[in-house]
């Protein structure tokens, strides 16, 4: 028995010298750990004469309990003890690295604000949609060769009896019909920003990309309104003095149709940098995207009377406008996840 008394005494002595939690943990291991002193005592039970075994076991367990309780009490005592070290409350806190919006999110926000100022409503229509919204409603019936221009990816699900197959939408123009049906009675001023998909992968194309689509429908809307809006956007987004021009083009869903160029952000439209040809644009102009006056069939399909209302639409790539704004040359950086690139914006 004296063995136990010795251990108890030693424990009490050890405990009285503890002044921090590291020491307390070490003490816990020394006495209560798997190879600790209490377990040693329990293992020794084999050597105890049979008639004393029961009493020995009880005594060891009582001691174990006592040690556990004292250690618990000490733990509480230590954690409630205030540090007597001087703490300077006026010191600045730790600086943690700050994250920021992704370059695309930032551009989406910027574009949304520019159009909200002239009372366009931001919407986001499905990136997985029916053929009807992506094509039929846009004056592109089944089998029309213009559909190939978009090289669409189809989803492997049963087709809808009315709306056709499900597609990864190749442009944000799928929002035109949806918005007409949502608003019902013009005026419509929509800015639809969403992901689009086309199977291209090179320095200026990724298979997934973003577009923003403007749609304006009202009484007496004409090309002058369109040109004015494009000029407004170009000045706000690319900077003062940026000009736009329209070049005749063809889209099934607009008539007339155009491609829009803006003056190059590097040479400011002069086509020259330090007397040499501008490497970014070569001509003073950079192509922004497609636009035009909404085709009467598209208005009709959206439930709008083309004799009463007219409208215009445009669709531009977000990655593209960012590249033009900052003079970037490889779109793949946006999605490469390299923090050194992303941190710059």
Q: How far is CA 135 from CA 141, 148, 180, in A?
A: 7, 11, 15
β 188-197/121-123 pair status: parallel
Residue from 186, 269, 290, 302 in contact with ligand PHE (CB under 6 A): 290
Q: Report 203-242 residues binding ligand PHE (CB under 6 A).
A: 213
With residue 251 as reference, give the H or E element that holds it: strand 244-251
Q: How many residues bind ligand PHE (CB under 6 A)?
A: 12
Q: Report 170-199 residues binding ligand PHE (CB under 6 A).
A: 171, 173
Residue from 132, 209, 314, 334 in contact with ligand PHE (CB under 6 A): 314
Nearest Cα neighbor of 10 from 36, 45, 42 is: 36
State whether residue 118 is helix, strand or coil: coil
Supply the minimum distance, in Å, between the C-beta of residue 254 and ligand PHE. Answer: 5
**Residue holding tokens 């973003």?**
210
Q: Report 30-89 residues binding ligand PHE (CB under 6 A).
A: none
Beta-carbon-side half-sphere exposure of residue 134 (alpha carbons within 13 Å): 28
- DSSP letters spanning 123-192: E---SEEEHHHHTGGGT--TT-GGGGGG-PEEPSSPPBTTTB-EEE-SSTTHHHHHHHHHH-SS-EEEEE
Determine if 313 is a binding residue for ligand PHE (CB under 6 A).
Answer: yes
Indicate the residue among 269 and 315 with the shorter CB distance to ligand PHE: 315
Q: How far is CA 339 from CA 103, 342, 345, in A?
A: 11, 5, 11
Indicate the residue among 186 and 315 with the shorter CB distance to ligand PHE: 315
- Of the ranges 22-30, 114-122, 310-318, 330-338, which one interacts with ligand PHE (CB under 6 A)? 310-318
Indicate the residue among 267 and 288 with the shorter CB distance to ligand PHE: 288
With residue 224 as reference, give the H or E element that holds it: helix 223-238
Indicate the residue among 173 and 263 with the shorter CB distance to ligand PHE: 173
Supply the minimum distance, in Å, between the C-beta of residue 251 and ligand PHE. Answer: 5
Supply the minimum distance, in Å, between the C-beta of residue 277 and ligand PHE. Answer: 28
State whether residue 18 is helix, strand or coil: coil
Supply the minimum distance, in Å, between the C-beta of residue 189 and ligand PHE. Answer: 15
Supply the minimum distance, in Å, between the C-beta of residue 205 and ligand PHE. Answer: 12
Supply the minimum distance, in Å, between the C-beta of residue 289 and ligand PHE. Answer: 6
Q: Contact at 8 Å (CB) between 232 and 225?
A: no
Supply the minimum distance, in Å, between the C-beta of residue 98 and ligand PHE. Answer: 36
- Residues at the site binding ligand PHE, with contacts judged by CB under 6 A: 171, 173, 213, 251, 254, 289-292, 313-315
């Amino acid at each position: 028995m004296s063995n136990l008394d010795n251990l108890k005494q030693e424990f009490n002595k050890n405990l009285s010298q503890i002044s921090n939690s590291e020491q307390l943990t070490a003490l816990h291991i020394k006495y209560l750990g798997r190879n600790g002193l209490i377990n040693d005592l329990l293992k020794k039970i084999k050597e105890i004469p049979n008639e004393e075994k029961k009493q020995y076991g009880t005594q060891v367990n009582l001691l174990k309990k006592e040690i556990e309780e004292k250690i618990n009490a000490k733990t509480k005592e230590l954690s409630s003890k205030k540090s007597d070290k001087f703490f300077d409350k006026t010191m600045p806190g730790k600086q943690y690295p700050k994250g920021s919006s992704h370059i695309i999110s930032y551009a989406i926000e910027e574009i949304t604000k520019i159009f909200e100022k002239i009372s366009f409503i931001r919407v986001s229509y499905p990136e997985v949609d029916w053929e009807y919204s992506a094509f039929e409603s846009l004056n592109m019936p089944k089998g029309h060769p213009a559909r190939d221009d978009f090289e669409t990816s189809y989803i492997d699900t049963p087709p809808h009896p009315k709306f056709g197959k499900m597609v990864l939408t190749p442009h944000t123009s799928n929002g035109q019909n949806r918005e007409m049906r949502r608003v019902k009675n013009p005026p419509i001023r929509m800015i639809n920003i969403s992901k689009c998909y086309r199977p291209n992968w090179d320095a200026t194309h990724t298979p997934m990309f973003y577009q923003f689509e403007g749609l304006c429908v009202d009484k007496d809307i004409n090309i002058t309104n369109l040109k004015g809006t494009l000029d407004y956007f170009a000045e706000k987004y690319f900077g003062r003095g940026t000009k736009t021009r329209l070049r005749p083009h063809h889209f099934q869903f607009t008539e007339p149709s155009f491609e829009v160029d803006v003056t190059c952000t590097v040479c400011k439209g002069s086509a020259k940098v330090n007397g040499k040809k501008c490497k970014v644009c070569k001509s003073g102009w950079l192509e922004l995207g497609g636009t035009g006056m909404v085709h009467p069939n598209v208005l009709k399909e959206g439930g709008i009377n083309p004799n009463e209302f007219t409208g215009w639409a445009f669709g531009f790539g977000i990655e593209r406008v960012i590249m033009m704004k900052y003079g970037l040359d490889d779109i793949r950086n946006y999605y490469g996840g390299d923090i050194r690139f992303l941190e710059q914006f």
